[in-house]
Chains A and B, each alone.
Chain A
Amino acid sequence: MSARANILRSSAAHAILIAYTILALYPVFLIVINSMKSRRAIFNEPLALPTRETFDLVGFHTVLEQGNFLLYFQNSLIVTLASLFLVLLFGAMAAFALAEYRFRGNLLMGLYLALGIMIPIRLGTVAILEIMVAANLVNTLTSLVLVYTAQGLPLAVFILAEFMRQVSDDLKNAARIDGLSEYRIFFTIALPLVRPALATVAVFTMIPIWNDLWFPLILAPSDATKTLTLGSQIFLGQYVTNWNAVLAALTLAIFPVVVLYLIFSRQLIRGITRGAVK
């Protein structure tokens, strides 16, 4: 009786999850299949798979021949990875300090750092632009990395502090007795133990950065510093849009995120299962 109820419940759960997965992935799937079709086929039968007649890689050719595409790609990758690294490093360090040390104003400091979760950084765009102009950083990738690091830190600190609190005090104390410095304790003991949380934060941080159009447009619109999302905009005209090229660019833009996601989710799962069998 209860076994059957269990099967029912778990198949219901699976049905819901599968339905959600289809719903979430279908637009992505549409983009990918349409990127490989001729312009006419895209409009005539947007939901059809490419057939021998409609198969056409013209979009990819346009994108790759546009010359700068690889550079944009590289810019996006540099900005995303650099910001991600800085967010994870500083976020974890701040989280460790908040979780580990008793100091005056600890709680206030934590609230202050978490404030950024509620206030979107775009509200400060004008001020940020002024700062970047004053610092002579307009049209550099550095300006983007700085802004994205600031944007990602609040949530990172908030989530990681919670996990840092769960790292065993005894373990840290044992390391102190063995003469490890606080930095060594942070890097060799605390960080590896919160790896699943780091992976989660990495995914949450990475995707908005990769997809962002706003700050590249405002802070670094020069051709040498364009990111992929901004670079793809040239295909979206006011009167004509080169849909083949747009879809091809979007398809190509998906890959790096998927690869990064696979790397992190591997960590995530490893972390979860290790916790379970301990």
Chain B
Amino acid sequence: MGNMTLEKVCKSFGTVDVIRDVDLQVEDGEFCVFVGPSGCGKSTLLRMIAGLEDITSGDVLIDGEVVNTVPPSKREIAMVFQSYALYPHLNVRDNMGLGLKQARHPRAEVAAAVDRAAKMLDLEKYLNRRPAELSGGQRQRVAIGRAIVRKPKLFLFDEPLSNLDAALRVQTRIEIANLHRELGATMIYVTHDQVEAMTLADRIVVLRDGRIEQIGAPMELYNNPANEFVAGFIGSPKMNFLDAPTLGQPGRSLGIRPEHLTLSREEGQIEGRISHVEQLGGETLIYLRADPHGLITVRLFGEHGAVVDERAFVTPDLTRAFHFGTDGQRLAA
């Protein structure tokens, strides 16, 4: 068991409203990811779920019970922090076992739980080391282990991978995905890395300025964004927003993903000059400057030669385009 509900949750620091009227239902066993630009309130929302931050108004429910005033240690949650937050004076074993020890579980039970978690995360060799004697990746695995040991109803992750280097990030991401499959636990995960969001999530919650912009499965958000903000936030490289009136299209802007544009030297709908080329091997990104649209990104598969300052034409595939009105909302097709 482990579902979580937010009902009209608000948070203000003094006169600043950081979270405004958030409603959300996370199902048992679901992997839910919060994304949004920096400062939009992801961490604050997560800390409110954990009980580390008071709720200004609204209700947080875990397993159907209102937990607004329940202290963090009694909510049966576990949290993994970006900065690892391991106790510097305890070794790995004690770091992982402290929560259960505090809850007065028998010593043998604590030891067994720690050993099980250590085995899952390949930490058996390091059980007697202090955090200072571990690498960043190992520290984050210990932090994850500490969360597992508590057998929580709800796992909370606050950007757990952003202090790791790229290779380790991929590896740990896979580890977290496996963990979710093995434990079948409910997880809420904050990130601003959209690859993490897309690959891990059952459902993504896109936040902006303390409000939910859209909730949906990764592909749903990708293929059916509700507004310009979500369309621009999900997908990499970012969606192009072309000036709709000059193309004779309805609305203010026409959203088109870089892979849905065709490039030609001879003819096309939009004329521009190539300003930059990025060869990635498997794909080529061509940046084209065209007035009044600004910089347009074109994504081509395979290797393509292109010369900077060359004249070129692009044509959007209008069947894959999105139309946005002046308020940034999607126009009904």
Do A and B come from the same complex?
yes
A interface residues with partner B (beta carbon < 8 Å): 168, 170-171, 173-180, 188-189, 192-193, 278
Contact in complex: B47, A173 (CB < 8 Å): yes
What's the minimum C-beta distance from A278 to chain B, rounded to whole angstroms? 7
If A170-B84, A171-B83 are given as contacts, then 18 extra A-B residue pairs at C-beta distance below 8 Å, sorted by A number, are: A168-B83, A170-B81, A170-B82, A171-B85, A173-B50, A173-B72, A174-B79, A174-B81, A174-B85, A176-B71, A177-B72, A177-B77, A177-B79, A178-B98, A178-B99, A178-B150, A179-B74, A180-B73
Q: How many pairs, one residue from A and one from B, have CB atoms within 8 Å of each other in the complex?
A: 59
Distance, CA A179 to CA B150, complexed state (A):
11
Instruction: Please give me the residue from chain B that is nearest to A192 by CB atom.
Output: B89
Distance, CA A168 to CA B86, complexed state (A):
10
Known A179-B102, A180-B102: A173·B85 in contact at CB below 8 Å: yes
Known A180-B102, A278-B132: A175·B87 in contact at CB below 8 Å: yes
Distance, CA A53 to CA B301, complexed state (A):
99
Contact in complex: B73, A177 (CB < 8 Å): yes
Instruction: Please give me the residue from chain B that is nearest to A176 by CB atom.
Output: B72
Inter-chain contacts of B50 with A (CB < 8 A): 173, 177
Inter-chain contacts of B78 with A (CB < 8 A): 177
User: What band does the interface of chain B fall in when counting residues whose beta carbon is under 8 Å from A?
Assistant: 20 to 34
Instruction: Please give me the residue from chain A that is nearest to B152 by CB atom.
Output: A177
- Complex partner residue of A173 from B79, B98, B150, CB under 8 angstroms: B79
Known A173-B52, A173-B85, A189-B87: A178·B71 in contact at CB below 8 Å: no
Which are the 8 A-B pairs with shortest beta-carbon distances? A179-B73, A179-B102, A170-B85, A170-B81, A178-B99, A174-B85, A177-B72, A171-B85
Distance, CA A177 to CA B132, complexed state (A):
22
Contact sample, A vs B, 16 pairs, CB 8 Å cutoff: A170-B81, A171-B83, A171-B87, A173-B47, A173-B52, A174-B85, A176-B72, A177-B77, A177-B78, A177-B99, A178-B102, A178-B150, A179-B74, A179-B103, A188-B87, A193-B88
Distance, CA A178 to CA B79, complexed state (A):
10
Known A178-B73, A179-B99, A278-B132: A173·B81 in contact at CB below 8 Å: yes
Instruction: Please give me the residue from chain A that is nearest to B97 by CB atom.
Output: A178
Instruction: Please give me the residue from chain B that is nearest to A180 by CB atom.
Output: B102
Inter-chain contacts of A176 with B (CB < 8 A): 52, 71-73
What's the minimum C-beta distance from A177 to chain B, rounded to whole angstroms? 5
Distance, CA A235 to CA B22, complexed state (A):
78
Instruction: Please give me the residue from chain A that is nearest to B158 by CB atom.
Output: A170
Distance, CA A177 to CA B79, complexed state (A):
8
Distance, CA A168 to CA B83, complexed state (A):
9
Instruction: Please give me the residue from chain B that is nearest to A188 by CB atom.
Output: B89
What's the minimum C-beta distance from A163 to chain B, rounded to whole angstroms? 15
Distance, CA A176 to CA B83, complexed state (A):
16
Inter-chain contacts of A173 with B (CB < 8 A): 47, 50, 52, 72, 79, 81, 85
Inter-chain contacts of A180 with B (CB < 8 A): 73, 98, 102
Inter-chain contacts of A174 with B (CB < 8 A): 79, 81, 85-87, 146
Inter-chain contacts of B71 with A (CB < 8 A): 176
Contact with A along B51-90 (1 / 0, CB 8 A): 0100000000000000000011110011101111111110
Instruction: Please give me the residue from chain A that is nearest to B82 by CB atom.
Output: A170
What's the minimum C-beta distance from B16 to chain A, rounded to whole angstroms? 13
Contact with A along B178-202 (1 / 0, CB 8 A): 0000000000000000000000000
What's the minimum C-beta distance from B21 to chain A, rounded to whole angstroms? 23
What's the minimum C-beta distance from B202 to chain A, rounded to whole angstroms? 24
What's the minimum C-beta distance from A195 to chain B, rounded to whole angstroms? 11
Distance, CA A170 to CA B71, complexed state (A):
16
What's the minimum C-beta distance from B18 to chain A, rounded to whole angstroms? 14
What's the minimum C-beta distance from B177 to chain A, rounded to whole angstroms? 23
Distance, CA A168 to CA B81, complexed state (A):
11
Contact in complex: A168, B85 (CB < 8 Å): yes
Distance, CA A140 to CA B78, complexed state (A):
53
Most chain-B Cβ atoms within 10 A of its Cβ — which of A176, A178, A180, A192?
A178
Distance, CA A175 to CA B88, complexed state (A):
12
